[in-house]
Amino acid sequence: LFRSRPGTDAAFALGMAATVVEEGLVNEAFVKDQTDLPLLVRDDNRLFLRESDLKDDGHPEQFFWLDTKTKKVAAAPRGTLALGKVDPALKGSISVTLADGTKVTCRPVFEHVAKRLKDYTAEKAAAMCGVDAGMIREIARKVAKGRTKTLGSLNNAGKYYHGDLIERSQLLLLGLTGNWGRKGTGVQAWVAALFDGWLMGAAKPAAGQEITQALWGAYQNFVGAIQKEDPTMTKELATIEFTKRSVAGGAGWVPPVFLWYNHAGFDKNWQRAEWNDPTMPRPFESYYREAVNKGWWAGEPTKGIEPRVFIECGGNALRRTRGGRKMLVKHLWPKLKTIVTLDIRMSATALESDYVLPIASQYEKISFGIPSTHTMNLTFCDRVVAPIDEARTEIDIFGLLSKAVQERAIARGFVTYKDGSGAQRRLDDLYPRYSMNGFMENEDAVADEMIKDTVITGALPPGSSLETVRKKGFIRWSGLGMNARALGQATEPEPDSTFAPYRNHTEKKEPYPTLTRRAQFYIDHEWFLEAGEELPMHKDAPKAGGDYPLLITSGHNRWSVHSTNIANRRMLQTHRGAPHLVMSPADATERDVEDNEMVEVFNDMGSYQTPVKVSASAQPGQIIMYNGWEPYQFPNWDGPSDIEPGMIKWLHFAGGYGHLKFWPTQWQPAPVCRGTRADVRKITN
């Protein structure tokens, strides 16, 4: 049993990667076949060698490697991962003559990786992460010689400021050892795709599978047209490209960071240099403006448009948003004319809303589990009882709202308007369009339509319907369907078999959806080069929240099943009955704090009060506050999120580069919470 220091997972992974390289345990066949490590990088500017460097009309995304057989530079194919007759070198260098006659030396990415890993020998990594050097070596050997799998989006590393470095480092270890694309290996992340009928309804003007067939055909034609533009694109690559283009065309998807930055006060937090990474070369605002000015985000959504109505449905903004009530109620709420929450209970957001619309709970309506390849099934929850009192399903409530808006618009003679993107919208036919001419008033029919639409896209087997799922309770996925996130799993589901992502890459040699068309570890984007993060590395979490000695970590608590049950009386009886902060015995003794004593947790953002649970499960220097607690469970309604600055790593605004382009449901850029700095003190009065 061992524990690494919070936020040092990258150092731990790189220490193992260094051991793999030092001891000759690299799976060279896999590395050459699947990754960018054989591709050549120029010594003079640290950029990939491109065809556009070699001739004036050269392709800017054609890359090269050094063939050990001919000792010459050879083009790496873009349409396949198959090496053909070439044996790419992982070591060595070659002099290349550029289009202007200049000679430059180039060497494979692997050489740059090997050089960087010298900073992460087992001993050096141990000093960073706290895991014994011998243990690092032992685990590295096991990873190299066996099958290794990581579940759960790389342990939610993305909630750390440098979570991208943690994930890239862990993936580098898996890549060096050939640990993805086969059973028992790789990364299996949360997908939230496959059930295409969910979103298909939003595009359909009326119900019926013949309309779905027409839309599905048009969608395939769009994807096919992109493949004709570039025949080296697979269906996966073309679908992702289509998704990116649909956003650029104004499909209505807006990353919430622009709302937070322009209207919720986060601009002040993100611009505080002392809360950002100290190695950030320029001020945050400089990167933000450059990203917007270069069109990487199709302008600056929400800039100059004052928000007026906030509708919360399916979430709890005042609890879940980093900064919580302190940021939103103080900065955003005063700008709003109307705040509406749809919920089954009085959540923190509901308590500070103008209107609370009661929705049916999961047993009062038909619902489906979040679709993913973890379960490999569409899971079903049926309506057991009718909704009580005024509660309605979400579909019904938005139907009533659209009907009321339509009636009011007609009465006022205000039937057309332009939305934030400049598109003309009509209001006098809002309800028929929303409800597909009343079809959505029938809950059973809507659920059946969703399932049958998903059959058409191939994600569910023929004959699937509401009737069949009611009999069995679930339906196994038969394909990946049409969603780009699902196709990114790059493995077709098989009957009665576990699911291992990326087999299309390892077995069929289909290229990856990256700039280099390979699993890419070297990012030669100008910002990444400037930051020294062109390759994975370890960086300590910045002092977000101020220069304080304790690091806050979190996780999903074990006692509520889901945050909607966090204040449930029966669930509270399974633990201490109230929120609590976990603190190590050493830190508690230093602060003269006893178990179950009420303390104040504070930093430059603010403070909140909570009882302490003294436990060796927390390391010295670490405090653990599990998430999900409602702010109203704390004195003065000041909760844990109120001291989270919600920092954004500047590199996550980078764009205009291969795979570094926004597309919906990727959750980036996202404010982080783990690794926030704070301290704890006794409450003396």
Q: Do 565 and 608 fall within a single domain?
A: yes
The rounded distance, in Å, linking the Cα atoms of 202 and 197 is 9
Radius of gyration of the chain (CA): 27
**CATH code at position 627:** 2.40.40.20
Q: Is residue 165 part of a domain?
A: yes
Q: Taking 70 as the threshold, does the pLDDT of residue 152 lie above it?
A: no
d(CA 97, CA 646): 48
- pLDDT surpasses 80 at 559: no
**Pair 558, 594 in one domain:** yes
With tokens 């943690």, the residue in question is 166
Same domain, 523 and 573: no
685 pLDDT higher than 80: no
pLDDT, mean over the chain: 93
Contact 177, 25 (CB under 8 A): yes
Task: Specify whether 674 is located in the same domain as 557.
Answer: yes
Tell me how far apart the alpha carbons of residues 445 and 456 are, in angstroms, rounded to a whole number: 17
129: in domain:
yes
Distances (CA, A) of 125 to 3, 12, 21, 606, 623: 13, 6, 14, 34, 23
Say whether pLDDT at 648 is over 60: yes
What per-residue confidence (pLDDT) applies to 154?
46
Expressed as residue numbers, the domain containing 520 is 9-189+506-531
Predicted TM-score of the model (pTM):
0.96
What is the arithmetic mean of pLDDT over 146-163?
77
Pairing of strands 367-368, 606-614: unpaired
Do 602 and 520 share a structural domain? no
78-82 mean pLDDT: 97
Residue 64 CA from chain centroid, whole number:
31
pLDDT: which is higher, 373 or 13:
13
Flag the least confident range among 100-104, 189-193, 647-651, 675-679. Answer: 189-193
Are 526 and 558 found together in one domain? Answer: no
Q: How far apart are CA 125 and CA 117, in angstroms?
A: 10
Residue 339 lies in a domain: no
Structural domain count, the chain? 2
pLDDT digits (tens, 9 = 90+) for 471-507: 999 999 999 999 999 999 999 999 989 999 999 999 9
- For 379, the token pair is 């899971």
Residues 6+ apart with CB under 8 A from 221: none
Task: Flag whether 19 is in a domain.
Answer: yes
Asked whether residue 525 falls in the same domain as residue 635, the answer is no
Residue-wise pLDDT tens digits, 159-206: 899 999 999 999 999 999 999 999 999 888 778 889 999 988 888 999
Question: What percent of the chain is helix, strand and coil (3-state, nearest 5)?
Answer: 40, 15, 45
In this predicted structure, what is the pLDDT of residue 293?
Answer: 93
Q: Could you tell me which residues come within 8 angstroms of residue 87 by beta carbon, excluding any fewer than 6 positions away?
A: 32, 67, 68, 69
Q: Is the pLDDT of residue 79 over 70?
A: yes
- Residue 462, classified by CB atoms within 10 Å of its CB into exposed (0-12), middle (13-18) or buried (19+), is exposed
Instruction: Write out the two tokens for 396.
Output: 């019904």
User: Same domain for 517 and 639?
Assistant: no
Same structural domain, 517 and 558: no
Answer yes or no: is 613 within a domain: yes
Q: Are 612 and 520 within one domain?
A: no
**pLDDT tens digit sequence for 110-142:** 999 999 999 999 999 999 999 999 999 999 999
Q: Does some domain include residue 602?
A: yes
pLDDT digits (tens, 9 = 90+) for 663-673: 877 777 889 98
Q: Residue 446 pLDDT more than 80?
A: yes
In the chain, count H helices and then E strands. 26, 21
Closest CA to 198 of 50, 314, 42: 314
- Mean pLDDT value across residues 449-468: 97
Q: Considering the domain boundaries, does residue 360 fall inside one? A: no
Where among 497, 531, 565 does a domain terminate?
A: 531
Quote the pLDDT of residue 562. 76
Same domain, residue pair 18 and 167: yes
CATH code: domain of residue 185: 3.40.228
Asked if residue 157 and residue 30 are part of one domain, the reply reads yes
Query: Tell me: the pLDDT tens digits for 409-421?
Result: 999 999 999 887 7
Give CA separation, 377 vs 8, 437, 505, 533, 578, in Å.
Answer: 35, 31, 24, 39, 36
- Rounded to whole angstroms, the Cα distance separating 505 from 518 reads 9
Calpha distance 201→439 (Å, rounded): 11
Q: Check residue 654 and report its DSSP letter.
A: -
Token pair for residue 487? 């196709």
- DSSP H stretches of helix in 55-195: 109-117, 122-129, 133-145, 152-156, 163-176
Instruction: Quickly tell me which residue has 């003794």 as its tokens.
Output: 589
Q: With respect to residue 43, please indicate whether it lies within any of the assigned structural domains.
A: yes
Closest C-alpha to 58, from 108, 96, 101, 99: 99
